[in-house]
Amino acid sequence: MKAFRFGVVAAAQEGGAKWRDIARRAEELGYSTLLSPDNLNLPTPTAALAAAAAVTTRLRVGSYVLASPLRTARAAAWEAHSVTTLTEGRFELGLGTGLPSMREQAEELGLRYANGQGRLDSISQTIDHVRRLDGDAHTPVMLAVGGPKARRLAAAKADIVAPAGGALTTRDEFAAHIEEIRSATEGRDVELAMNIFVVGEHVPPWIRGFIGADAETLIEHDSLSMICGSVDDMAVELERRRAELGFSYVIVNGAFIEEFAPVVARLSGK
């Protein structure tokens, strides 16, 4: 089993000073990675992440995730390699096909919103361009994957795989998807990442609107989108998820950066 590491997802929407404070705090609390989402209503992740890396020394930074409809494959690779260079290897490139809402944003940029296969092809081409640009360097690539075609692409080319599902996706469903990924890696060693939307038993309204479930529903369905209880309880549950499903890279929403920190201190590197 891989050792635990932890990431936190936040956005630089409140300005540079606040963003730099978040980066410093994430590093102080022992998080491995500060991750930034991607859409036209926020600062571009690569610029934000370069700024975060500039005020930290150990913290890794990553996109969660660059949406393929918002850039050509070559442009995405250019941005990624640039951040790898400027951060001296602390950047992790997260890629995804984008939500349906990205159609309008792509059109605003003058780009075509391709079909599902086209968006996957763009991701594959982005990875190829990054590998060429990196030379002797290596930008770790994380793919957020939902369907079987995306899982096969991740198995073939990704360093980190974040299996995506709805808030009520069951453990058995995740296990089946992960087995599909592992069986297709042909022996390649991949890290499995899990995105936790809710820490504790209170779901902020904006998160509830995004995942479409309240706390009672998440608890009733034993949702992997939530983790709650004491620090001991959460540590035991994460160890269970690693043992049963292989998740060792745990990503939480920035709203819970302080609340989740004792778990980070307990499990990081173990």
Tokens at residue 62, please?
């990553």
Stretch 219-247: mean pLDDT: 97
Helix axes 16-28, 45-54, angle to 10 degrees: 60
My answer on whether omega of the bond before 65 falls inside 30° of 0, hence cis, is yes
> Is residue 1's pLDDT more than 90?
no
Burial of residue 32, with CB atoms counted within 10 A of its CB: 0-12 exposed, 13-18 middle, 19 or more buried: buried
> Is residue 13's pLDDT more than 90?
no
Residue 223 is part of a domain; what is its CATH number? 3.20.20.30
H or E element in which residue 198 lies: strand 198-199
> Is residue 129's pLDDT more than 90?
yes
pLDDT of residue 70: 97
> Is residue 159's pLDDT more than 90?
yes
pLDDT of residue 34: 98
Task: Indicate the range of 12-16, 159-163, 188-192, 217-221 predicted with least confidence.
Answer: 12-16
> Is residue 67's pLDDT more than 90?
yes
The DSSP line for 226-259 is: EE-S-HHHHHHHHHHHHHHH-EEEEEEEGGGTTT
Percentage of the chain exceeding pLDDT 90: 95
> Is residue 165's pLDDT more than 90?
no
> Is residue 187's pLDDT more than 90?
no
pLDDT of residue 261: 98
Question: What sections of 91-166 are H helices per DSSP?
Answer: 102-108, 116-134, 148-157
Give the C-alpha separation, 123 to 80, whole Å.
13
Domain that holds residue 246: 5-267
pLDDT of residue 103: 95
> How many structural domains are present in the chain?
1
Give the C-alpha separation, 219 to 132, whole Å.
45
Give the C-alpha separation, 5 to 24, whole Å.
17
Tokens at residue 179, please?
């087995």
Identify whether the C-beta of residue 80 lies closer than 8 Å to the C-beta of residue 46.
yes
Percentage of the chain exceeding pLDDT 70: 100
